[in-house]
Structure 1
Amino acid sequence: MIKAVIFDVGGVLVQSPFIAISAYEQELGLPANYINVSLSRRGSEGAFQQYERGELAFTEFVDQWTNELNDTNANNTAFRRYLQRNELDTRMALPQQTRVSGDTLFARMMAVAETPNECVVELVRWLKACGYRVAALTNNFKDAGDSDRLKPLFDVFVESAVEGLRKPDPRFYLKACERLRVGPSEALFLDDIPVNLRAAKALGMEAVRVEIGRETLAVDQVKHILRTRGAYPPPAKI
Structure 2
Amino acid sequence: MVVDVSYISKEHSEDATQASSGVTGILAVQGAFAEHAAMLDRLGAPWKLLRAREDFDDSIDRVILPGGESTTQGKLLRSTGLFDPINEHIKAGKPVFGTCAGMILLAQRLENDPNVYFGALDATVRRNAYGRQLGSFMTTESITTFNTDGTAAGVIEDVPLVFIRGPLVAETGSDARVMCKTNDNVVALQQGNILATAFHPEITDDTRVHKYFLTFR
Q: TM-score normalised to the size of structure 1?
A: 0.27
Q: TM-score normalised to the size of structure 2?
A: 0.28
Q: Quick check: which one's helix share is greater? A: 1
Rg: which structure is higher?
1
